[in-house]
Structure 1
Amino acid sequence: MMAKVQWWVKERTYREHGEEINQVAWHPCISHSVATASSDQLVKIFDTRTDRSNATIETKGDNINLAWSPDGTTIAVGNKDDLITFIDVKSSKIIHEEQFHYEVNEISWDRTGNLFAVTTAHGTVVFFDALGIQKDKDKRLEELHCLTAHTGNCICLEFDPTGRYFAVGAADASASIWDVSQLVCLTVLTRTEWVVRGLSFGYQSQLLALASEDPYIEIAKVDTGERVFALKCDAQTLTVAWHPKAPVLAYTLDDDLGSVRLFGVLD
């Protein structure tokens, strides 16, 4: 049974992007590193121990999604033209580009790093062999499986830290939680009234945060789908990201362009 928690807000703001930040994601291994993808065609990596970014990568379009590989060596960023760009973190250089010919809304690796997945406008999650491009940077991603997850547009996707689950948020104002090994839907969260735009599992895989056009961030238990907390927001939430090793949630709002907020939980 989960311990009772007290909720508090502690904020640090970074204002380096010229336009809205559409995705924020913590480094999976380094606790003080967080990356952002923005409509200003930039990807930035911040060291949260300082007041500024330590890397900036220029891309070819308006960035709408971003994901770290499980080992933290690679960042994938997608833009509005459905181009996925793979960035080597150490050198801050682009190492591969993949142009899709259908609408890609979200991207993510599974926790083994062997699979790369995307959500589509067709209500599907498509899984690819991620090892192929590591061996050959010029090789196209090889499709392995296509899963029908929702009846409408699948917007966002997130794998949990244990590798047991993944969650899908959709335009039908719901989010589904799936078993990775069986590809079976375990539960569906339906308390939001608007499009679910972002998802993030807590570092112990007990909590799932939902970003949506609702005026709050929904935080629910993974095993039961029960609401734990609704974090009131002044505007719709663009993206959410739990810290990989601590109960701290990073998020951005539609009316707070270029800024990242941090929300902490105390036991």
Structure 2
Amino acid sequence: MSHVTSLFLYISLGTVEVLAYPSLKAVDTLTAHTAGCYCIAIDPLGRYFAVGSADSLVSLWDISEMLCVRTFTKLEWPVRTISFNHTGEYIASASEDLFIDISNVETGRSVHQIPCRAAMNSVEWNPKFNLLAYAGDDKNKYQADEGVFRIFGFDSA
């Protein structure tokens, strides 16, 4: 029995290209955004994937239907990075805004914002706990040419 797995690619025209793996044959092209897509993440339960774009939106897509079910609108600058937490309950997104937004995936509501002093380049949840690592362009007081890496503990209770 053969098993086909999808591979998601994003391109700069606001679309997401869905390819079959390992053949890499085109399966679908989704019009996801009005501007370039910069990042993509798949939730750990395999229900959704999210796309961050230069239009400052994060779109949430149902994998089984290939339909956009929600957008996250808290950021005002191009979305640089997104990540789902280990349960798929929360999504973190960041940009040049001076905060990282953490939203509930099912409701779309922002549940927390982490203040930042500069643009963020990367957010990533721990695979087992609600710990979010993030790194950006802000400088530490000892090495003016290097960015800073931080970890935020998020209690969902």
TM exceeding 0.5: yes
How far did residue 261 of structure 1 move? 2.0
Give the secondary structure class of the aligned counterpart of 1:196: coil
Aligned to 1:248: 131
Match of 2:98 among 202, 206, 215: 215
How far did residue 259 of structure 1 move? 4.5
How far did residue 258 of structure 1 move? 5.5
Contact 2:138 2:147 in 1 (8 A): no
Aligned to 1:262: 151
Aligned to 2:77: 194
Aligned to 1:159: 42
CA deviations over 1:188-236 (Å, ceiling 9, x no partner): 1112111111110111111010011100000000001101001000101
Give the secondary structure class of the aligned counterpart of 2:123: strand
Greater Rg over alpha carbons, structure: 1
Match of 2:14 among 102, 123, 140: 123
Query: In 1, distance between residues paired with 2:52 and 2:94?
Result: 9
Gaps of at least 5 residues in structure 1 are 1-111, 133-140
User: What percentage of residue pairs aligned between the two structures are identical?
Assistant: 41
Residues 1-267 of structure 1 correspond to what in structure 2 (within 5 A)? 114-132=5-23, 141-256=24-139, 257=146, 259-266=148-155, 267=157
Q: Which amino acid aligns with 2:39?
A: C
Runs of 4 or more above 6 Å deviation: none
RMSD of the TM alignment (CA)? Answer: 1.7
CA deviations over 1:146-174 (Å, ceiling 9, x no partner): 11111111111111000001111111111
Number of equivalences: 148
1 or 2 for the larger relative contact order (CA 8 Å, sep ≥6)?
Answer: 1
Query: In 2, distance between residues paired with 1:184 and 1:118?
Result: 16
